[in-house]
Amino acid sequence: MKKTINIKFTLVLLLIGFMIAVQYNSMENPKQRDTRDIWAIRQELAEEKKLHSELLSEIRELDNTISSYRSLSDSSTGQAIKDTVDRLHQKAGTTDIEGPGIVIEVRPSAESIAYGIPITSISSDLLTRFVNDVNRFKGINMEIDGKRYNVMSSIRVINGSTSVNGLNVSTPPFKIKIISQTMSDSEKLYNYLLASSIHDDFYLDNLILDIKPPEKDIVISGWSEKFENLYLNELPKGD
């Protein structure tokens, strides 16, 4: 009888200990709740839908390219491939491009000049924040201090100086050129940057953004670095 009571008592203690452990674990690791308001969720949903639309556009473009290849004769296949390569070079930013856009001059603030505050190179964090802000607009081409910026570009700190594609960015003043697909897109970007809070970030670093009105013909240079082919080899031509 006494043995049976001890077994029951032990089982009760085990059950109580298990319940305490579960309660403690739930208190230590509570489920995270989504505390965003409805507008933040709607904004994220809109960005996801925009990305989905862009992916569908790229898929349609690739489908059209494949269809055009299939419909071509052997004599015109070479020209079609050349046209495709030219488009890829343009997307990669290796060619010069001209079109409607805006020019932005990054220069020291009037206060920093008046008080003799020394101006150093723009910080990499600030320049990255600006690029991310501008990249809200798709289909743009950018040049930072004469250096082409594209999806393969990098902004780093080298020997204490901010660099783009491994080349140092000049101490302000310097210019940033942005070309859009249409003049209307350039005007939208211009108005957005005029009202953007990015100005406050620059002002904290004693810099200002002087944004020029949109122009019809702006030229930016291609990426100076050449691509290295590490894996593909040209097959010998047949007889």
Give me the pLDDT at residue 232, please.
63
d(CA 104, CA 101): 10
List of the chain residues with pLDDT < 50: 239
* Helix, strand counts (H, E) of the chain: 7, 9
User: What are the domain boundaries of the chain?
Assistant: 97-220
Give me the pLDDT at residue 5, please.
56
d(CA 146, CA 131): 15
Distances 78 to 81, 83, 84, 139, 213 between C-alpha atoms, Å: 5, 9, 10, 28, 42
d(CA 139, CA 19): 58
**Going by CATH, does the domain composed of 97-220 fall within 3.30.70.1880?**
yes
pTM: 0.63
Give me the pLDDT at residue 138, please.
84
